[in-house]
Amino acid sequence: MSTAFTELESQLRSAVRRSRAQRTTWARHRRRQTWVLAAAALLVVSAGAFGASRIIQGKSAQEQGRELAFQTVRETEHLTACRALETSFPYLTFTDAPVLGAITRLLPLLGRPPSQPEQARASALLPRQVPTGGAVLTQTLHLVTLQEGIRVLAFVTQGGWATARNPAACARARQARAQELTANHPAAIRRWARVSLERMPDTAPGVQTLVTLIRDPSEAGEGGGAQPIVPGQRLKPGVQQVSGSRDGSRLFFGIAGADATAVRIQTRQLRALHRLPTQVPVRARLYAVKIPRGLGPFRLLEIGATGTILRSIE
């Protein structure tokens, strides 16, 4: 993640009064679980929304528009409507609400109701509380078993992990302030500022959160990610989260492209893998790759059914 991107992420977290880092740990009643928050989702705006952004004063219109949006958030955070509600983690509730199309296009599995046996197994693995405090969409509850017994519990909840006290009023106040800040800027910058504010998860209506819990039988506890999705947001495959193990190895969890059947580790130090697989299968578009400590430079590659390299994973 670039320095500029990290700074923008930090500004947004501060603006919505969330004191969470990119990796946050919650204590649970039954066991310790680490949630790796996909904070990048807070900043995603469709790259093709306005075509190619032209460079202005060393930065693109998109970058400048986003920076002005974050400035707007900072300057309006004192307003009562924009103050963040305290996030609560109530016991699990369920709903039959429809899942966002962006989520089912990325993970078609979540658009199909689970079988009764699968739903029973998945329900038994659900934590007693979820980080967003929202209801779980019943049809999205799926359990996928990967290589070496690694299990992924995937589901979607209503809402995000941060919400303004009055989202509609806060959104209007932010847009009004953004118009003042961008009055003398080019049209492209004004557009990016407006759209960036529209995609803020704490004020956007209809936000859902994609949750993935990962259980590695060789490790104690669970890892997981919670990514808020704004309606209209475009989601891309790739590495979703990285978690560390006690032995210094790292587990890369990701979502593959629709045509990928496996993920391969490309490295000149194959002996350093210490009997770990150099290639893992993709199941339901999910994969998990273990990288041992001290491996050195490597790339992850998506592999097709014929064994050809499809693309490098970002």
Q: Which of 1-5, 21-25, 75-79, 180-184 bottoms out in mean pLDDT, i.e. has the lowest?
A: 21-25
Q: Which of 29-38, 91-100, 266-275 has the highest mean pLDDT?
A: 91-100
User: pLDDT digit string (tens) for 122-146?
Assistant: 888 887 766 666 889 999 999 999 9
DSSP state of 283: B
Determine the straight-line distance between the first and last CA of the chain, rounded to whole angstroms.
Answer: 11
Question: 225 near 211, Cβ under 8 Å?
Answer: yes
The pLDDT of residue 282 is 96
Percent pLDDT > 90 in the chain is 46
Q: Is the pLDDT of residue 270 over 50?
A: yes
Residues 6+ apart with CB under 8 A from 10: none
- The residue among 285 and 18 whose pLDDT is bigger is 285
Phi, psi of 242 (to 5 degrees): -130, 130
Percent of the chain surpassing pLDDT 70: 78
Average pLDDT of the segment spanning 276-288: 92
Task: Tally Cβ neighbours within 10 Å of residue 294.
Answer: 10
Confidence class for position 84, pLDDT limits 50, 70, 90? confident
Contact present, 30 and 128 (Cβ < 8 Å): yes
- Residue pair 250/291 in contact (Cβ under 8 Å)? The answer is yes
Range 10-20 average pLDDT: 41
pLDDT of residue 135: 87
Residue 91 confidence (pLDDT): 66
Instruction: Give the pLDDT confidence of 198-249 residue by residue, as tens digits.
Output: 999 889 999 999 999 998 888 776 778 888 999 988 899 999 988 887 778 8
Q: What is the mean pLDDT of residues 281-290?
A: 94
Q: Letter for the amino acid at 149?
A: G
Q: For residue 257, what is the DSSP state?
A: -
Q: Kindly give, in sequence order, each residue whose CB lies less than 8 Å from that of residue 173, ignoring residues fewer than 6 positions away.
A: 76, 79, 81, 82
DSSP string, 79-97: SGGGSBPPP--PBP-EE-P
**Spatial contact of 301 and 313, defined as CB atoms under 8 Å apart:** yes
Mean pLDDT of 283-300: 89
User: What pLDDT does 132 receive?
Assistant: 67
Instruction: Indicate the pairing of strand 33-36 with strand 23-26.
Output: antiparallel
- pLDDT at residue 21, rounded to an integer: 32
Radius of gyration over alpha carbons of the chain, in Å?
20
CB atoms closer than 10 angstroms to residue 283? 16
All domains in the chain, ordered by first residue:
237-314 (2.60.40)
Q: What is the number of residues in the chain? A: 314
pLDDT digits over 57-69, tens only? 578 899 999 999 9
Q: Determine the Cα–Cα distance for residues 137 and 132; give it in Å rounded to an integer.
A: 13
pLDDT of residue 131: 64
| pLDDT mean across residues, the chain | 79
Greater pLDDT, 19 or 78: 78
Structure token pair of residue 176:
């009004």
15, 17, 163, 261, 271 from 78: Cα distances, Å: 9, 10, 15, 50, 56
